[in-house]
Structure 1
Amino acid sequence: MKKEAQASHTKNYSEAYRWFVGAGFIIVFLIIFLAYNFFDALSDSQVKAKHQFLSKQVELAAKDVQSQFSITFDDLMFFVNTLDPAVHVEGAKELVALEGRTRRVFNNHRNIVDTLIINYADRTVSYHFDAKNNFIKTVHDDDSPFWENSRHIVFGNSVNSISIVAIIDLDRFINNRLGNYYLGLSSEKLLYANGKVLGISDYTTVENFTFESKLYSEIDNDIRQGFKGSYQGSIQIENQRKSIEALIHQYPFTLYPLTDSLSVIFVQDKAVITSGVFENYIYLLGILVVLLLIVILTLFRFIKNAQIANQTLTRNTEKISELFRQQNLLLQESRGFIYFQDGQRVMTEVSSEVQDVLGYDQHDFLQNYRNYFSQEDFESLDALIKSAIAAKKESISFEFNFQKSSGEWIRARVFERLVYDKAMNFAGIVGICTDIQDKYLAEQEQIKSNQRLTSIMQGLPDNILICDYAGEILDYYVQDQVLFTVPMSTIVGRKMAEVLPESVENLLHKGFETVISTGKLVTLEFETLMQSGKKIFEMRLFKLDDERLISLARNITGQKLWEKGLQEAMEAAEQANKAKTEFLANMSHEIRTPMNGLLGIISLMESTSLDEQQVKYLRVIKDSGNALTSIINDILDYSKIEAGMMSLDISKFDLKEEVLKIVDIFNGLVKEKDIHLRYSFEEFIPNYVQMDKLKLGQILFNLIGNAIKFTPNGGEIEISVTGEVFLERNVMLNFSIRDSGIGISDDKIEALKMPFVQADNSNTREYKGTGLGLAISEKLIMLMGGELEIESELGVGSTFSFNVFGTIWHDQFQLHADEVKLDYQEGELESFDWVNMANEHPMSILLVEDNETNLKFMRMLMNELGYDIEIAKNGLEGVLAVQDRDFDLIFMDIQMPKMNGLEATEQIRNMKGKSTIPIIGLSANAFHEDINNAISIGMNGYLTKPVQVMEIALTIKKHYELKTKSDIN
């Protein structure tokens, strides 16, 4: 028996061995077969990956070339548009700046631009870098287009008649850009240009690549149609004398405004891609074969254990499958726990998550779970389950309140799976209980929110209609039923056009179309006639969601009446402001005109022989006249600011020089009062700035003048200027004027900024004035972007500080050789002797003036100057006088009968041979727009009445000098 058993065992073993060996050979064959196919798939994958890489790289390269060329084109276009025709004048600082800009163009676009040529009206200038990297400028007197045989782009500027020509080195540019892309070994970067394929190497292009004819024809056709493409085919490399099978990708691009047909072509030798894969794969295959043998030996040893494990696994499979099926049903919910009940609905098991959800341990919950929800909920749940069992339902779901171990009640949702046996007898329950407290609270809040929204909509004064896109009313909240033509109880389901007045239908239809097509809010306004009269309504239409619209209609009849009244009030205010402005202009003219004669006669009297008492009386009259003129100026300036008509006149000037000019004006008064005046400028304060020079001077004049006025004899005044630079060229200048004067009490500092207010408003006050200087200064400071601050202490002194915004100007101002400076320094005014100046400055002069007082003054003045002038008493007479005689200079009043001075100036400027006669305006109108208007019409200057004798004399002298200079040239 032992031998038979042994023989049987040996036989079984031999059979198993033969089966195992046979299976081994089959597995080895399959491994080799799969290895081959895997290698083939891996090779294809590598080739596809390389295709994707080349496609992306060639696209990036083409777009990079095109983008960089576009940037160069834009920079050159900006360069030519900002050129000044005059900057080519030798020695001009602008020429240095131009050459600097030209060098920056080369620095930014050296790889593209070989030579830059600027064509002016009278010459041609070219710039380039030579072989030693020297920046070379060449002036070409010959205007022949020497650049025509090279690739170039012409940029023109129709405004300034300048053009530039950029000679383009396309080979160097494209080679440089494509040099940034690495494709790997045995790869080539080619350029298709106008039907030729060029290789790229060391910033040169050569024709050393030949495509097979069919492949080239396909590539050429795609490029000419503007299509990118990927290909695979044979390429002949002439310098290597070999042919390769290659992957080819091309991406066409354009270089506007060049018309060349261009495309970037990237080539990769296919053999290189797969060779690396093959070498690595051989080693991998050998390792896999060794591992296979080890696995086979291991499997043979554990084959019997696997058989035993399979038997055990078979027995448990059915139970595990059922368990997984039940768990998959229950795990559809979250934040819960699983429980099991038997056929008598006794809780048999609960998962450990019950403690996380409710706070009870498993044993406590199994014993007492019925006590953790209300009796009412338990009865409802019991009835629901019994009903489901009776109906043989597979599952039920319900919500109820559950009490946690902390005593807190939460909302829970239960999903139960009812289990039946094969006879459909109830066998138990598998359930999952989930905490839905957050969701429940959110739903409750949503309900409350809807209720609040409904309350709000019902409380709004608007008539609210909710409708679909077809206009059918779905819901409404109406406060005023007067707009509707049908009872409110019948409007749901009707179209909006049916329940509103017939006159609204077309307007409503257009509004619906606009809202639906654009999604934007549309406001409609319409009128309708009712029993109580005409009413005006405003309706706003907008989308509520993708299916509904909402309209809000409101009676705006009262609002429209109010707006109409407001508009009428605004128009009345504008008319009043206009009348005020006209009144001030007329007042200025009426006061300044006699003041001109008064002060002019006084100036003439000062030059006559007078005794001491007469000089004293004359000085009082002159000071009173000047004071009255100053008061008029203050009133006009403040009225201008108050009306919002004051604007900034930006100019470039020497800041320190301007401040010192203002200080020098008070030099005599400072010496008279023995005031110690100091001034300082912070070290980095710029020399030249851009801002309104006149307004800055007016501010400093007022503040420094106040400081001197209120500082006693022997006192001190300190002026300091500091600043803060930001954003490179912007500066905030801070000015401080500190005095040791009488000081101001705290309760009067703010009041001082009000117009016509002084610290001492009594009739017996020591310091006189209009009280407008500080108010005007504060308004001007605010206009210039700053703020005025006042610090003061009675008996100690005051400090007035303000800041203004400006721009730093780095270039110094220069006067060209052909310009004449028209303003005089104070010393020049004092030294000029104007009596009988006609002997040295002979001029034929016409005076156009209608006021008899001014005529008398001007006659006497001109007589003192030595001139025999001709007089016209209105603009019409002045035009006729100019037609009959040649004059060297005309003094023209502005406001005159028959024809004013501006109209006369326009006619003279249109006369043949008379258009260049200098015309100086004389007017009592001191507004800046009056002056600017006169200059724009054609006047050469403008003197504001009252006119000083010295102003007339210097004006004649300057124009004599201009005439003399013109005659010499």
Structure 2
Amino acid sequence: MIKVQNQYNSSNGKAYRWFVVTGILVVLLVVFLAFNFYDALSKNQLEARKQFLNKQVELAAKDIQNHFGITYDDMVFFVNNLEPWTYDVPNEQLAFEGRTRRIFNNHRNLLDTIVVEFPDQVVTFYFDQRNNFIKNSFDTIDEAIQDKAAYINFENPVKNVKIWVAVNIDRFLGDQLGNYYLGINSEKLLYFNGQLFGVFEYMPTKGYSIQPDVFKAIQKDIDIGLRGSYQGFLSNQPENREFEALIFQYPFSLYPLNEKFSVVFVQDRQSITSGVFSTYAYLLAGLMFLLVVVILILYRFIKNSQESNIKLAQNSNKIASLFRQQNLLLQESRGFIYFQDAERRMTNVSGEVLKILGYDEAEFIQGFKSFIDPKDDKKLDAIIQKAILNKEESFSLEFNFKKKSGEWLRVRVFEKLFYDDQGNFTGNVGICTDIQDRFLADQELFKSNNRLISVLRSLPDIIFIYNNEGVFLDYYVQDESLLIRPARESIGKYIKDVLPEPLSLEIMEGFEKVKRTGKLVNIEFEAISQSGKKIFETRLFKLDDDRVISIARDITGQKLWEKGLQEAMEAAELANKAKSEFLANMSHEIRTPMNGLLGIIGLMEKTNLDAQQQEFLQVIKDSGQSLSVIINDILDYSKIEAGMMKLEVSKFHFKKEIEKILKIFNGLVQEKRIRLRYTFGPLMPEYVQLDRSKLGQILFNLIGNAVKFTPEEGEISIQINGELFMDTNVILHFTIKDSGIGIAADKISSLTQPFVQADGSTTREYKGTGLGLAISEKLIELMGGELNITSELGKGSVFSFNVYGTVWLEDEHDLSELAEQKSEEFEWFDMAKDYPVDILLVEDNETNLKFMQMLMKELGYEITIAKNGVEAVSAVRENHYDLVLMDIQMPKMNGLEATEIIRQMEDEKKFVPIIGLSANAFQEDINKAISIGMDGYLTKPVQVQEIALTIKKHHQLKIKKEAL
């Protein structure tokens, strides 16, 4: 028992001595650490302050130089765009004074006076002490400027105009340096022509001097344009104190001024480290506390080590599980981990790289540098070198990686950098994540915002934006004659100062209601605008938390309609007549160039084209033909309303036709990065028989609306199902769903009315005629179906309809119709050998003449040309022709008048077939032409095949007549 007790006491004695020795060592270590830590803390504080001041003085100098340079560039641009006749044109004079005021507002802290010297007068601009913008006129420059040396001269010798600018350098420099806060016991100084000035209340102040030898060194560096840092004594006369300071200066220039400038920042050196002493006391106390903690830790160390070994085995399983979870997380986030050594050589990479980039681990380790975009590779190297130089712990960067498939993938890398005890870079570990979808979304959002601003500027309504106090911030106005005063004069003013009473009171009441409730407020009022008395409807609503927007529309015409129904009816009749004339002219003006376009396409189809060119040409041709169909239906909308529209049934491959329609929207869909999906149901027939052009127009309108109203990176889905009944009949169901802006519930019922849109205001974002849905609904009803519309604001719309058709099975139907169609598709190139005729072309449009001459050359015909009806009559009277292609609208004598005269000449000449060739597509125009005596009528745009078939037909009639 005694032996055991002695062993126990001996063990305790050893432990006691061990702890005593350990305690002494720890005390010595604490003292050593306290001294070194204080020294390191002081040096670090001093070095950090030096870096801060060095960076700030550079930023301040560059900021001053950049702001002065911007002012100089604005004045150069101003004088280069100034015209000597500005004050001869009232509108130009107002615009010029507005630009002058904007320049003052942009550079108020620098500019004092602007003097503009025109050839016949001199105009000066400045702000007085009450902040009023003052303009004065003088006869000569000497009257306007007493001391020209105090002004900067900007001259445009070509236009004989000059601008003299007086600048306040003191105010400018003081204001610029006033933006920088350096902390306590610091000074912001300016070096100007050998003197130092302090900045007090944003104005330079004298009374500062630096130790002479240090000041000479500063002057020397400034004279040769070098930045510098110094240490010396600074005397501050305004505060009557002298101190040892850290001094940093950065020179700058203010072109075209010749003086030397430099920003000088000064910091009291003693104040930087003064706070370390108090910190040291707390630190020492903390270290003593740490000493106690360390002793306790040493006591517990042996006991805990055994327990830790037991837990280590348990935790190893948890760590393995954690790594498995980490791998799953990388897979879900589409990323992989990689490791690099001190030479930036790839040492290891996780297996997820195969899924992300397509390379296996060995391929990526060996060639990862070649997979980075060269531009991004240089940028990446620069960032890495900078991070290592600054001993940064981590950095992140976005760049492009080339996948094994050849596609570029946008990725984001985050790298953790490791250093040894000496601060040497030893390697890094990084995580690379696929951010392609987010990158594309950000790009599309930027484009969308730009388009939104462009659309807003093009809206015809009167749009003003205010802050929450009712001050005008911005405007978008197309017609300023509708305003009480020019819009630019309102910027920066309150509503009550711009609008007269009681209108201003009414507007402010609505303004306050919008701020209070957040709801839209409608206000209707009368005002005397620059173009006379007008009635306006204004909508006020919150643009965001800080701004309110007003959208005003001139509704004078609407109110006049309400006051006098009879007058409105007469006005409507006149408007309808004008619309008819406009549509007729529009038909002619659109179809004339389209005739050349589609005609040239027909000729190009016969040239040698590669597969891609043929595909492009087919898209242009399909788009042009679709446009022609749409124009026809718009111009004949009255025929739809009267129930006179007839279906033209044809047989076609259904899926190919649908895909051809969708292909028209391919460019716009790719531009907006819209995800457009379409699916066909399981019971869809391969061939159907119905009106292909009407179905195409319906889909063109509905899909076009979906693409137009779907935001960038939105989604559009098209579902097409077929329902067979009675063997050969089919009901085709179409559903077009988009993720667009949606439609208010109270607007859906009026969408299918002609010339009506969900947003009928002149400020609407999406333009259109308002006929698309009206025509579509009529055509759907004509084809035996019904149009249904469901929508929710902000979530999108669903347009669904069905039409009836017939399933066409080749083994059960007569193919004679297709055979006839194919038989008409003869080879028309150089057909004059087989179908010789003498042709007279009557056409005044140069584009169509070029097209027809090219076409006739391809057909093998030498034709005679007449450019108006007078020449056509003369040509028929003097020569014999087998066919006359006659335009309708021509100068001197139109085609109808010429046809009447030619028909009256039949006793003298043999009968000549006359084919109308015009852009007038109204049925009454065609009927009139036939009744006058034309034998046919081709509506522009005319297809090459139509011309060729017409010539062939009349040659065959000629042969038959000669045989009789």
**Quick check: which has more Rg, 1 or 2?**
1
TM over 0.5: no
TM-score (ref. length: structure 2) = 0.34
